[in-house]
Amino acid sequence: MPSFQGIELGARAMRAFQIGLEVTGHNVANVNTPGFSRRRVHFANTPEYAFNPNIRIGTGVIVQHVQRVREMMLEQRINTNTGDFARLDTLRQQLQNIEGLLMEPGEQGIGARLNALFNAFDELATRPDSLAARQSVLQAASALVGTIRSLHDNWNTLQTQLQQRMTETVREANDLATQLGRLNEQIRAAHSGGAEASDLLDQRDRLMTRLSELVGARAHYNTDGSLMVFVDGHTLVQDGASFPLPLSIDVPNRDLDSTPVDIRIQNGQLRGLMDASANLQDYQNRLNLFTNTLITQVNTLHQTGFDLDGNTGWLFFDGTDASDIALHSDISDPRRIAASGVAGAPGNNGIAMALVNLRNQPQGALGGMTLSQYYNNLVGQVGNDARVSRNRAESQQLTLEHLHQIRESVSGVSLDEEAANLVKFQRSYQAAAKVISTFDSLIQDVLQFVAPR
Amino acid sequence: MRISTYWQFRRMERATEQSVGQMTLWQKRVATGRRIEQPSDDPVGSVHALALREQVQQIDQYGRNIREARMFLQATEQAFADIGEILHRTRQIVTQGANDTNDANAREALIQEIRELKRRLLQIGNQRPDGERYLFSGQTVHTEPITVTGGVASYVGDGNPLLVNIAADRVITMNFSGARIADLHNKLNDIENNLLSGNSAQLSMVDLNDIEQFQSEFHRYRGEVGVRTRELDNYERLHLSRRDQLTGNLAAIEEIDLAEAISQLKQSELRYQASLQVFTRIQSVNLFDFLRGG
């Protein structure tokens, strides 16, 4: 046995336990870091040496490696579920915005305003010659027009914002892909050196989760430690290279137009935004159809009627849909409202009555529904879509929460546990120091024999 | 299961968030009294509420229409009552005029009275109770219905019906034509002439009979006004009870049950307090607290 073997053994152990303390410190320091996996020190005994043919003696401990405690299968599931949740939660948020703009049920919505207009028509039918009744018709119509226009404008703004956010989402995903490629290179370099680059891996996992959240990307882990990322059939990241997603967003097909094949977006925020945009487009179309039917039906009747001065042919509404509906300049003077069906009979209410009856008239253009039924149906649809997406997002959140809990139970830092480790390594360190001082005193004893006093 | 420190906090945080969310929701419901703030709170209920509110508003409009029609019919009723008085007096005058014992002065008084009755009749026939519409013009509401040329009255209104919606499936006519008022005026002309010429035979044989005809005719009109007014009353009552029913349904859909909401609010407040207490309790315990100075 070499003379200083024992001291070296002690020193090695002290170094190992110091590493243990440092790793514990690192874990404690990162107790609040999102996505951090706790590190574990793997100790191994160093090779024995042959004291004599019959006896082999150990030489102490070394730190074999420091590893992240992480379950890769679980990570994959979390990524998939994160993409699902992002899709549903984005849709939920957007539908809530869309719904809020309806201002239903209430007195400010289109439903109440449409009623008020029909009531004003009925008032006009009762008093077809009255200027006051005509004035109320104009007021009610102008309130309805304003409400339709403002809903249209607000929805339109929302639609524009959705388009912008889709582009931003794809851009961010492409940025992340570039970073992921770079990390892949660094991790592979570290990997070939034999050491695990835990912090880089954590960082890469975080980026990957974010990518799943954005575009529902899927990961494939190679044996050399590198990560491949896919969106549908498109390879987003391979080794150090990234292949950006095109910005050609095709909402109706829920894909990105690309050659040779389009890239289908199944999940993530991007899909949520696409779904919201498609839903909104459908609502906008319905609002336009409703408005167009209102304009056409009212104008067709009104045009045939006679005003207070016996003139005919006036239009009531201007425009073709929710974007441009307005009161027609023909009726800027209330005398020109054509309530009468007979020239020179201001007490005749033929047209006013016909306008009132429009209220309960099934419209072919609206699939046999009346105007208000069609509108109420739209409100119900928006409400139901918002409701369903809220329920789905909530239940998906529970699933994701559950997976996070499992991951935390595997990878999360427990301060109690780390405190225990701290004590353990400190005591071990003290014991190893004691080993050194013991061997030191042995050597001193030997030196006392040989050294002159 | 291993519980990480972060998760311990996260779980507490979530529990607190949830109880705050519940509490805020019930606070808002108690404050506003509404359980539907937006369609997604109850999609089926909101569509139902929209339809109910529409019906309520429609009924309110029928109510206004009924009031309008009633005013018109009341004015008409008054007019027919006044015409009834004119006819009653005319009948007396005709009977008296047919009697040959009248002297010139008495005859002259009767003629004057007939002329006065004609003026009143014209006033009644050409009246505008609301200052805008002639009661008896029909649909040409701004045209004076009875004009007199050379002492002869002619009806120039169109006599067409003024129609009012008083229910979804009921339209009534609120006016009467004034054509017969013009005819009556001209009958009074005949009587005046017969009084002047002392044609008592004509007065007793023809005029008396005609006036009686007019009497029963206008009596019938008055009855008709009564029928229509009663119909208005009936529909108004019907609308009122229907409105109560609808607003009751609407409240059941849109509004909260206050007693239930308040008890829910209390519960959610308790839950919130409890979660806060657990939070502070858990937070205060940690192994590090028990390690002193290494």
Whole-number Å distance between alpha carbons of B62 and A185? 79
Whole-number Å distance between alpha carbons of A427 and A430? 5
Contact list, B291 vs chain A (CB under 8 Å):
419, 422-423
Q: pLDDT digit string (tens) for A77-107?
A: 999 999 999 999 999 999 999 999 998 888 8
Torsion over CA of B270, B273, B279 and B284, rounded to 10 degrees?
A: -130
Rounded CA Rg of chain A: 38
Whole-number Å distance between alpha carbons of A341 and A347? 10
Say if residues A240 and A182 touch (Cβ distance below 8 Å): yes
Q: How far is A54 from chain B (nearest CA, A)?
A: 42
Query: Reduced to 3 states, what is the DSSP secondary structure of residue B131?
Result: coil
Long-range Cβ contact pairs of A438-445 (< 8 A, separation 24 or more): A438/A6, A439/A4, A439/A6, A439/A7, A439/A10, A440/A7, A442/A6, A443/A3, A443/A4, A443/A7
Q: Enumerate residues 51 to 90 of chain A having a beta carbon within 8 A of any beta carbon in chain B.
A: none
State the count of interchain CB pairs (< 8 A) between A and B: 176
Interchain contact, A126 vs B64, CB within 8 Å: yes
pLDDT of residue B283: 66
Helices (H) and strands (E) in chain B, counts: 7, 4
Q: How far is B110 from chain A (nearest CA, A)?
A: 39
Interchain contact, A346 vs B3, CB within 8 Å: no
Work out the percent of chain A whose per-residue pLDDT is above 70.
Answer: 98
pLDDT of residue B293: 53
Whole-number Å distance between alpha carbons of A367 and A371? 10
Q: pLDDT digit string (tens) for A335-391?
A: 999 999 998 888 899 999 999 999 999 999 999 999 999 999 999 999 999 999 999
Which residue(s) pair with A115 in the sheet? none
Residue A66 has pLDDT above 80, yes or no: yes
Whole-number Å distance between alpha carbons of B53 and B49? 6
Other Cβ atoms closer than 10 A to A12: 17
What is the band of A451 on the pLDDT scale with cuts at 50, 70, 90? low
Q: pLDDT digit string (tens) for A149-196?
A: 999 999 999 999 999 999 999 999 999 999 999 999 988 888 777 677
Residue of A98, A108, A115 to mutate when probing chain B, most B C-beta within 10 A: A115
CA distance to A30, A336, A398, A401, B90, per residue, from A395 (Å)? 30, 58, 5, 10, 89
Query: Considering only alpha carbons, which residue of chain B is nearest residue A351?
Result: B163
Interchain contact, A126 vs B158, CB within 8 Å: no
Interchain contact, A123 vs B142, CB within 8 Å: no
Interchain contact, B54 vs A115, CB within 8 Å: yes
Per-residue pLDDT, averaged over A323-344, amounts to 93
- Token code pair at residue A69: 């405690």
Q: Enumerate residues 376 to 395 of chain A having a beta carbon within 8 A of any beta carbon in chain B.
A: 376-377, 379-380, 382-384, 386-387, 390
Sheet with A234-238: list strands edge to edge: A218-221, A227-231, A234-238, A241-242
Q: How far is CA A19 from the centre of its chain?
A: 41
Residue A405 has pLDDT above 50, yes or no: yes
Contact list, A397 vs chain B (CB under 8 Å):
none
Query: Considering only alpha carbons, which residue of chain B is nearest residue A427?
Result: B294
Q: Which of B218, B255, B211 is nearest to B53 (CA)?
A: B255
Q: pLDDT digit string (tens) for A34-61?
A: 878 899 999 999 888 888 888 888 888 9
Q: How far is CA A302 from the centre of its chain?
A: 49
Interchain contact, B47 vs A377, CB within 8 Å: yes
pLDDT of residue B80: 96
Say if residues A207 and A214 touch (Cβ distance below 8 Å): no
Q: Enumerate residues 117 to 156 of chain A having a beta carbon within 8 A of any beta carbon in chain B.
A: 118-119, 122-123, 125-127, 129-130
Whole-number Å distance between alpha carbons of A273 and A170? 11
Spans of chain B below 50 pLDDT: 294
